[in-house]
With several copies, the nearest count.
Chain A
């Protein structure tokens, strides 16, 4: 197994303790929960996606386990502006604030709350959530919209990561739009559209009916998206989707990712970051640059 050198790194303009970030929306609704994940070894954390108004999210069931994955339709619950206070105590930590909205103005406004208070090291634009009508993927399937939202948030002068949906015919068109809009990095990917029906109840099992699939089941899909984006774009890529082991991290890096986000794997073990790091880092490890994208060069 390949090992990496431990130590601080910078990816897409954000300084991180290691290559492993907590993915948006997973154990990221409170400052204390984010701090816990940092203490348990996350090199950085992405917050729950924050929007222009407080949102209770969809009715339940919101999340179920499926074969090799999770299916969720949380519906972007978040306390909106109140979240600024939530992460104020984490000012010295690598916190990326995930933002959503229905148009560039929304994105700019929400990001502004955090930019103004120094609570964000950077932003991640959620233009990819598959279960929020008018938000998320409704925006992230339109290159022009992605470009505008990216540009709007970039105007705050902090790094902007744009998180993409795999549920498009050609993800590179969206990646290129983000790049053109001034993104510092692309995050690939958000959940894959999915649905389960309870045959016993004769109805979709999620309150919102359909949702997003995450976890091991989508890992090959995420690797392919990262691969395609690496071929098409020049800004850094952060890989996300189904990562749960050190080898998964290396695989994502070889596909082209400079860092990764880990979400669903916390279900097996909340100490997943420590676990991965134990397998990934070694004093005599190689520099990440030596393996990022290496699978393209054979």
Chain B
């Protein structure tokens, strides 16, 4: 455990970049030596501590959804955050890698792409304005875009882009995005018989971030997203709770809307 963080370390916000109307990247110092896919617990003093992927060793990219993220949106350069990390296992890649990102899920994949480890990157968003990091990703990998409304790239969802891809040609397929999107990707990988090449970065409710409290335990094997993940292989996720339900802060199951019928 000696490599697990102790008290949060104070970092100073150096720059805030408005990526889209609801997503901002916060650059901070000092950086957190880490590998792509690892995350940190971000302490917003007086508010809460929440998990965030590192979009680089010196940044997190945040979508505003509630209390803590709204408080972060008030941060200016010079303000402080507490960081515990790096945490979790990150992506393990070698050879040829396909990345598939949707929404703010592009953050950990950006980290991977910037390190030159992504051959092809499928990036999705609702609309052109919400596409994250497209220019930067384009500089280091073969970028393909999809938007729901067709304002950029393919008109449709990011999984559509997989039609043009020879999945067999990739050693690793790294995926992060809304759970419904990741579920669709997993279904395609499974159908193509390459679920084991998929590396999916999961979001689950986290409290301790270091594998003790059990908040992030998943069914049916009790694997902890914070410590045994957040990256799991597609094979691990088949026949798991993935795509069906998650848990809230109380530990109660929250069934995803699209899965409601099946669970009843």
Contact = CB atoms under 8 A, between A and B. Distances in A.
Interface in A179-238: 196, 198, 200-201, 203, 205, 207
A285 interface: no
Nearest to A31: B219
B10 A264 contact: no
A267 B207 contact: no
Interface stretch (B46-54, B135-143, B151-159, B178-186): B46-54
Classify chain A's interface size.
35 or more
Contacts, number: 151
B9 to A, nearest CB: 7
A61 B42 CA distance: 9
Interface in B3-18: 4-10
A132 to B, nearest CB: 14
Nearest to A65: B6
Interface string A266-283: 111010000000000000
Given A60-B49, A61-B49, A34 B250 contact: no
Given A48-B251, A80-B250, A32 B82 contact: no
A28 interface: yes
Contacts of B253: 82
Interface string B29-62: 0000000000001010111111000000000000
A32 B46 contact: no
Classify chain B's interface size.
35 or more
B34 to A, nearest CB: 18
Interface string A122-141: 00000000000000000000
Contacts of B222: 27, 30, 32-37
Given A32-B217, A34-B222, A56 B212 contact: no
A168 interface: no
Given A29-B217, A59-B48, A72-B208, 9 more contacts: A34-B222, A60-B41, A65-B1, A65-B210, A67-B6, A78-B250, A82-B253, A266-B212, A267-B1
